[in-house]
A = this chain, B = another copy of it.
Amino acid sequence: MPSYTAPAKDAQFILHDVLKVSGSDIPGYSELEPEFTGAVLEEAGKIASAVLHPLNVVGDAEGCRLENGVVYTPKGFKEAFEQVKQGGWTGLDMPEEFGGQNMPYVMGTAVGEFFSSANQAFTMYQGLTHGAASAILAHGTDQQKATYLPKMVSCQWTGTMNLTEPHCGTDLGLMRTKAEPLGDGSYKISGQKIFISSGDHDMAENVVHLVLAKIPGGPEGIKGVSLFIVPKFIVSADGTPGERNGVSVGKIEEKMGIHGNSTCVMDYDGATGWLLGEEHKGMRAMFTMMNEARLGVGMQGLAQAEAAYQNAVEYAKDRLQGRAVTGAENPDGPADPLIVHPDIRRSLMDQKSFAEGARAFLLWGATLIDQAHRAGDKDADGLISLMTPVIKGFLTDQGYDMTVQAQQVYGGHGYIEEWGMSQYTRDARIAMIYEGANGVQALDLVGRKLGQHGGKYVLAFFDLVKTFCQENKDVSETFGKDFIDPLKAASKDLQAAGMYFMQKGMKDPNHALAGSYDFMHLFGQVCLGLMWAKMGKAAQEALDAGSDDAAFYETKLATGRYYMARRLPATKLHLARIESGADPVMALDADAF
């Protein structure tokens, strides 16, 4: 059985030593004193380890089942969900007026990682509800907010997002689901939606579906799409679930992983729905919460990598196999533990340096969202919009690779289901796909975000890196060589790639798009390089200040040096690929494949 311990100390280091949240002037941040956040993280960690994680393998083995139109979640899920609701974990960063705790988004993110690590399939029920509630919060009428939000913030009712149809995913303009106005402000919704996470289940009194559909006679394509609230049970005048609506589960999909989440085909047969936001502005309503949703998926990449890494470390310390090439380290035992072997170390360091760097990146991103939403900072909004596809695409790709590496540490035991390592990779795999497949993230980054406002936000990012490098090259005698020089070199590669796109992409956009995936990874590397440089600086300063936890900070510095030496040089490869342009990529006729 795999185990999980929430990395609360590491999150605290990032929040306080690196991001210095309680000193920030973002509204609500002054309350984020180390003691307060420490207490929240500790409690969240307990629930994650003791309640959610033991159900992770249960959910995987048992899955969800549909019987006579009713969806049943795996054994224990319902009771655990009650505990999460009771603890107030579902509304951590929601407004107090709707029953939330009004904490900044960064706290929701820090806690979300722990819950996701412990049980991704389970945590999605809550995550989707959060997404749907955010949409109602941003676009709902006062009555809609009053009707739905208190119940959704507490997860008494859960939510879903209905976008995909059998013939259209990314290209939602092709959508066929119809919404016919009934004249009384409601609409008749008909069509089929697929891949609906948490589509139905037995853990809530009601399920509030947010459904994209087209009102007949509206504009063609994506511009004619509207968003509707379609509850499973129509809400009665007294606010309780009443009549059953015309929406049903067609089937539960058989998936590679996240078996504990009910991924449903939803059939809308003249269901009653209510417009959320304006007619034909459904995509805009969806997009306002896309940054958060995509950041949440990037978080899943980190979360599975972290959980898998923890178990790989334990196995590498326990499993005796072979001898250290430099001499036995466990001479009284029959063999040395795996962890003595350099290649096992390499793998564990890849995982560790990724997870810690990714956590910093994610929490930094979350503070930018807070800065944008709570302080109305347009520049922060621009910067996080630019980096959102990077967070989503880079962290989920790399996170998945790390689960594969963790599984590999187990050898054959990683391939059988008994040890639980296969589940981490199977669960992590979905994060590269949903909320926009990673190729679409790369397209969003290069085709849309990069050039926004004349490249203002990417230039701001470069400035940020440059300023950091200028101000911190002398943090210690070796800091410049170990951290600043590699970061500078990586950032230069990113700038060169951006320059290539500007020059060549003008003539032929394929020159930019053929390098989009590499650009997303190049950007991600530089972001993690920057995070490691910041963490290295914070660690060095703590040591210089005579911290009594020197081992912790020394480990941070060593892990950062690993990242800079071993992972960051990938930027050169991405640049080389980008600069080879579109010709090699587009050379063949479709028939030649």
Give the B-binding residues of A (Cβ under 8 A). Answer: 164, 167-171, 173-174, 194-195, 253-257, 263, 313, 316-317, 320-322, 325-326, 334-335, 337, 339-349, 352, 400, 404, 407-408, 411-412, 414-418, 422, 425-426, 429-430, 432-434, 437-439, 442-443, 447, 508-510, 513-514, 516-517, 551, 555, 558-559, 561-562, 565-566, 569-570, 572-573, 576-577, 580, 582, 584-588, 590, 592-593
Contacts and interface: CB of A to CB of B under 8 A. Distances in A.
A187 B517 CA distance: 60
B171 A321 contact: yes
Contact of A255 (B416, B561, B570): B416
Contact of A334 (B174, B343, B408): B174
Nearest to A434: B412
Nearest to A432: B408
Contacts of A562: 584-585, 587
A437 B422 contact: no
B415 A430 contact: yes
A569 B561 contact: no
Given A433-B408, A565-B580, A573-B570, A344 B587 contact: no
Contacts of A517: 343, 346-347
Contact of A322 (B171, B572, B580): B171
Given A170-B322, A592-B555, A347 B439 contact: yes
Contact of A342 (B313, B320, B347, B510): B510
A426 B170 contact: no
Contacts of A334: 174
Point out which of A346, A434, A442 has the most chain B C-beta atoms below 10 A from its C-beta. A346
A325 B505 CA distance: 11
**Top 3 A-B pairs, shortest CB-CB distance:** A342-B513, A565-B580, A256-B422
A339 B171 contact: no
Contacts of A412: 164, 169, 194-195, 433-434
A416 B582 CA distance: 32
Given A342-B513, A344-B439, A558-B587, A569 B565 contact: no
A174 B558 contact: no
B255 A439 contact: no
A408 B321 CA distance: 36
A325 B577 contact: no
Given A325-B447, A342-B585, A509-B325, A254 B516 contact: no
Given A326-B510, A417-B255, A433-B414, A443 B577 contact: no
6 contacts: A170-B321, A174-B320, A408-B437, A408-B438, A408-B439, A414-B433
Given A254-B416, A433-B412, A572-B572, A335 B590 contact: no
B584 A561 contact: yes
Nearest to A580: B565
B337 A590 contact: yes
Contacts of A194: 412
Contacts of A514: 342-343, 345-346
A576 B569 contact: yes
A486 B352 CA distance: 34
Nearest to A551: B592
